[in-house]
Structures are given as structure tokens and as C-alpha cells.
Amino acid sequence: MIYTVTMNPALDYVVTVESFAAGEVNRVKTEHVYFGGKGINVSKILKELGLESQCFGFVAGFTGKELARGVEEELGLCSRFIEVADGMTRINVKMRGDQETEINGMGPVVRDGDVEKLQTQLEALNDGDVLILSGSVPQTMDAKIYAGIMKPLQSKEIKVVVDATGELLLRTLSYRPFLIKPNKDELADLFEVEIHTIEEVERYARKLQDMGAQNVLISMAKDGSLLIDEDGQSNRIGVCQGEVVNSVGAGDYMVAGFVAGCLSGKSYADTLKLATACGGATAFSRDLAKREKIEEMVKQWA
């Protein structure tokens, strides 16, 4: 079984405007509400690829109830969210016009007892399961939380994927995550450097592998992606060809494609193709990418 953890899910309120003007009334042309969060995004594309998963994480307030309802009823996913007492599941406003602007909410107040409930849930994981830890955490949570989740699972053969940034990611490396997926800018931030070339990307990706990560996948926007696999091989691929209409969640869908490729026994080179196809198909779709679109993207490298 695949388990995705979204510590800080959100209702994403996505609107388009002609041209945003600060200090004035701005009329919305289109509006949509999505049930968001990096782990939830991964579960969505896994379902499209025919793989079951369960969504874990924390929700709170009336927005949390709506998110949990939507994940189950509208997305058709299995969820086991923990409802916490204080705060509310965040609403993220994403405004698209002549520029893209985002306003992200805070998230609920998650206490030690809530974290213990999550850790109890994860005790049910078995050898061969996949655990995906994705995204930011509420402001009340410690940057050691992902590492704390991984530590008691070390006695089991579980593939742990970490898609996070900064200290959240760095603290997990000693527990040898199966996959990490920073983008190029996040990679530079981890080492407090500027990265200008593909050679520099590879150098710092290999440093993360030396620090414990088994597979390191770096997304590089228009320059495609670079994977340093667990055998130490460098795999590079370009971007899919098409018209970008949606930039939200493409990295999350790459994680889903990578996991799906690995579980199906594909080589790392072919797994990278599937991961990139999932990200590209999402970028070229106004909503969730369909399996047919993903397969179309894969054929670009046939």
C-alpha cells in the first residue's frame, strides 16, 4: 500500500483576473476550488495510474471538514485525516492574471498529542509499503517532524519519499529516504550557494546522496530533470513539449510517476520518463491530468 502524508493541506481557491490592480476592486473572470496539498496531489495522480493510496494528515475547522469531504466524495480517495481542535485548515488564494500571485493560509494548531495519533496510524505500515511525506508543515510543528516519523520505521522495509525543503528535508537524510525531490532553487538553498550549470546541479545532488538519500531527483524547469539513482548513475531528461496552462502541482505529480514507475519494475531511466510525463501532462491540463494524456507524453521519448 502507498500512504501519503500532507501535514498542512488546503482548499486552493484559484481565480483569474484581467489585470490585478492593488488598492482597487478586481473582478474575477473564473474561479475554482481544489482540494490541495502535495500528498493529496500525489494520491490523485496515483489513482489515475491505477494505484491505490491512503491520505493521512491533519485538518481543522469548517474548512477541514470540507477538505476531508471533498477528498473522499469528489476525488474518490481513501483518507484517514486527524481532526485537531484549534485553528483551521488553510485557504490558499492563487490569482492568475498578467502575473501569478499567491496568498497562503497558516494552517491548524497541531499539538504533540495529534502527532502521536499520526505515529500510531503509521505503526500499521508493513514491509514493502511506500510512505510519501510531502510539503510544508503548520507553523506550530517542529522541523524535525519528518525525521521523527521516519526513525521508528527503520526496522521495516518501507520506501520513504520526502518532498520537502530546508531543515525538514535535511534532517531526514540520515534515515536514508528512498527518494528526495528538490527543485534547482531549493537545492541551491539547501547548500546556501548559487547554482548556474547542470554540472553544479549534479555535484550538489550527489552531495545529498552522500548525506543519505538513495535517489535524488532534481527538477530544473525549462532544463528538464536530473536523477542521480541509487546505483550512482546520472539520468537526465528534457521537458515535455506542449502549451503550459497550469503550473500548480507538477512537481507532486512527478513524485507520483516516479513511485508508480518503481513499483511497476521499470528501469530508472524509464521511471524518469514516466515521472516527467506526469508533470508535463499536468502542466498542459487545466485540471488533473488523465492517464491518456500521461501516456501521450511518454511517447515523446519512444
By annotation, the residues acting in catalysis are 252
Instruction: Note whether 37 and 8 are within 8 A (CB).
Output: yes
Give the span between the Cα atoms of 234 and 265, in whole angstroms: 19
Burial class (CB in 10 A: 0-12, 13-18, 19+), 300: middle
Give residues with Cβ within 8 angstroms of 132, minimum separation 6.
2, 3, 4, 5, 39, 42, 160, 161, 163, 255, 259
Give residues with Cβ within 8 angstroms of 224, minimum separation 6.
236, 237, 238, 239, 276
Would strands 159-163 and 53-59 be described as parallel, antiparallel, or unpaired?
Answer: unpaired
Give residues with Cβ within 8 angstroms of 140, minimum separation 6.
109, 110, 111
Instruction: Note whether 252 and 219 are within 8 A (CB).
Output: no
